[in-house]
Amino acid sequence: MLKLNKRTVLLFFPVLFLFLFSCEEPSSDIGIGFKLPDQRMNVYNSDTITVTGLVYTMDSIRGDDPVYSLLGERLDPVFGTAKASIVTQLRLSDRFEPGDGAKTDSLFLILLKKDVYGDENSMMHLTVRQSFNTIFLDSTYYSNFNVHDSLGTEILGEVDYLAGDSIIRIALDTSFGNWLISDPDALVSQAAFQSHFKGLYLESENISGGEGGLTILDLLSANSFLAFYYSNNITDSLRFGFEINTQTARISIFEHDYTTADEATKIRHLNDGIQDTVIYAQGMSGVYTKISLPNFETWRDSMPMAINMAEFILELDDTTSIALEANPPANAYDLLLKDENGQFALPIDTQFGEDYSGGSLDTSTVHFRVTQHLQDYLEGKNDLTDFYLYVRSQKTVPNRTIFNSPSNSNKLKFRFIYTRMKE
């Protein structure tokens, strides 16, 4: 005969509970008609657990080899100025033999837009300089990468464009083109070429006097490249392409200045340990929120118990005068843990899939389930009750989001349902 001890039943019951009641909101202190001899399990719902939310700035994130690259500058009434620039190598599309007497007729850097965040009609000014800092595809670089100490003094090319332009086309100085092909030995292999030419630095500023925009570029597209037009002693009107692809080292560089936000709408409490009525999350290595359960340790005294549901519910702030249409929030978020070594990791609940663990914005709400993580905490398998809210895919997502905090009238909620055996 199968024997059920107290721990077996408690671990089994959350699964049964979720199966039977996943579509219903359980009430407090529900007695369930599932009995063992002289025993009964009670399900409880606690809504008094203390939650805090504090906002901090990030130092940097991994900036190397993004799938999409951000370029531009945007002034936000809440978050201030966000700026994105790019360092990228170029590669030979093939062995290049320009021929005797080769000279540059023209060359154009062509960049394909994928999307834009901000005012697509904002006028932007792009400058291109040569970078003399050797970067490597297999190395790690961060979004605060210092490129300025290794830049050429001359501007190779510049252009005014609209943030929403589908193609950005920059004419580069022909003297740079002549230098690029000045050493025939540098054009016979990728290694030789990358030793000769380190890369380009792309920087864009908002000259519209308004919001500006952050353009999301698809540099890995075949439609993003350097078109090189030249002639030699024998033939005119020749063409060669220098590529940007997955074998090309690229770095996204991000800068933020929160002091430029509007006084009436700026972030009030940043890095000061004071909770406001709203919390924030921002892409591009911007701000994040530390969400904590400061008194959750007291629940260890209630063991043995089984957690049926532990879930954070975040609501978009709807009291701000900043329209969501003009400042669309990010679509997805990560709730991370930080260990004693300062390393971040996802909670164990994410192993059950995003449909279970959450993180996606559903109209105006984001859910995060941390049921298994906190069950492990109660059992002494970890000591982590601080969670870190980030915009997912930081390198490629410029969006920013404002949520209600735990002290808001429509507060951030922590849903906690648990089962305890009644003797």
Structure tokens at 151: 């830049």
Arithmetic mean of pLDDT, 216-231: 98
Average of per-residue pLDDT values in the chain: 91
Question: What's the pLDDT band for 325 if we cut at 50, 70, 90?
Answer: confident
Arithmetic mean of pLDDT, 4-10: 45
Q: Per CATH, which fold does 36-51+267-422 belong to?
A: Jelly Rolls (2.60.120)
The DSSP string of 119-170 is -TT-EEEEEEEEE-----TTS--BTT---GGGEEEEEEEEEEEETT-SEEEE
The pLDDT > 70 percentage for the chain reads 89
Rg (CA), the chain: 28
pLDDT at 85 exceeding the cut of 70:
yes
As a whole number of angstroms, the distance between CA 300 and CA 9 comes to: 18
Q: Is the dihedral of CA 59, 64, 67, 71 positive or negative?
A: positive
What is the value of pTM for the model shown? 0.88
User: Who wins on pLDDT, 83 or 39?
Assistant: 83
pLDDT at 77 exceeding the cut of 90:
yes
Does residue 270 sit in helix, strand or coil?
coil
Question: Residue 274 carries which DSSP code?
Answer: -
As a whole number of angstroms, the distance between CA 338 and CA 385 comes to: 10
Question: Phi-psi category of 363—alpha, beta or left, where left has phi over 0 and alpha has psi -120 to 50?
Answer: left
59 in Cβ contact with 157 (< 8 Å): no
Quick one: three-class SS letters along 210-260?
A: CCEEEEEECCCCCCCEEEEEEECCCCCCEEEEEECCCCCCEEEEEEEEHHH
As a whole number of angstroms, the distance between CA 282 and CA 399 comes to: 6
pLDDT at 303 exceeding the cut of 60:
yes
Say how far residue 285 (Cα) sits from the centre of its chain. Answer: 7
Strands (E), 348-396: 365-369, 386-391
Say how far residue 197 (Cα) sits from the centre of its chain. Answer: 30
pLDDT of residue 24: 38
293 in Cβ contact with 414 (< 8 Å): yes
Question: Cα(first)–Cα(last) distance of the chain, in Å?
Answer: 22
Question: In whole angstroms, how far apart are CA 83 and each of 161, 204, 250, 256?
Answer: 16, 8, 17, 6
126 in Cβ contact with 71 (< 8 Å): yes
pLDDT of residue 13: 47
Which amino acid appears at position 38 of this protein? D
pLDDT at 4 exceeding the cut of 50:
no
Of 9-18, 60-69, 252-261, 318-327, the one with minimum mean pLDDT is: 9-18
Q: Where are the domains of the chain?
A: 36-51+267-422, 69-260
As a whole number of angstroms, the distance between CA 340 and CA 231 comes to: 62
pLDDT of residue 2: 38
pLDDT tens, residue by residue, 94-115: 999 999 999 999 999 999 999 9
User: Who wins on pLDDT, 251 or 11?
Assistant: 251
pLDDT tens, residue by residue, 342-387: 999 999 999 999 999 999 999 999 999 999 999 999 999 999 999 9
pLDDT tens, residue by residue, 160-211: 999 999 999 999 999 999 999 999 999 999 999 999 999 999 999 999 999 9
pLDDT of residue 421: 72
